Amino acid sequence: MNHFHMGIGIGASRVKIVLVAGDSGERRVQMRDHLGDPHGTLAAMLAGVPPLDILSYAVAGRAGASLLDGRRVYESEAIEAVLRDRGLHADLVVSLGGESFAVYRWGRTGPCSTACRATGARPARSSSTSSSWAGWG
């Protein structure tokens, strides 16, 4: 039986769910605009996930800690973990959100620090992005 890891991101305008297969590393992603109702949107999205053996999950985003009883992961921690796990180095990483952006900067030996964060007008885009959960579970 395959085991999965789940990441949930609750942003200012979107909810994202990522499933990663533990054996192959294959990823499936679903994103949906929450239109001011992140809790209802997340509940609807989770209802569509097939029954799986979830080994771990983490929640990112300011609203995440209040909506779920999971481990909250700060964006900078998640970026550092991905870079470390993949053996990559970056001096700067730009994170583009629906209503804001952040630029993270690393020192030679120190942890990530936010160099810049700003908000602005939200660009027009579609309301959802989806990859199928079909065949999982």
Mean pLDDT across 21-29 = 86
Summarised one tens digit per residue, pLDDT across range 64-107 is 666 666 567 777 787 887 788 778 888 888 887 767 778 888 76
Percentage of the chain with pLDDT > 70? 67
pLDDT for res 41: 93
CB neighbours of 72 closer than 8 A, spacing ≥ 6? 58, 59, 60, 64, 65
Average predicted confidence (pLDDT) for the chain: 76
pLDDT band at 126 (very low <50, low <70, confident <90, very high): very low
Q: Which secondary structure element, helix H or strand E, spans residue 22, and what is its range?
A: none
**Three-class SS of residue 38?**
helix
Asked if residue 89 lies in contact with residue 127, where contact means CB atoms within 8 angstroms, the answer is no
Q: Within a 10 A sphere around the Cβ of 107, how many other Cβ atoms? A: 9
pLDDT for res 45: 92
Q: Nearest Cα to 95, choosing from 104, 87, 86, 83?
A: 104
pLDDT for res 123: 45
Percentage of the chain with pLDDT > 90? 12
Q: Nearest Cα to 105, choosing from 118, 120, 95?
A: 95
pTM over 0.85: no
pLDDT for res 124: 45
User: What token pair was written down for 117?
Assistant: 């964060």
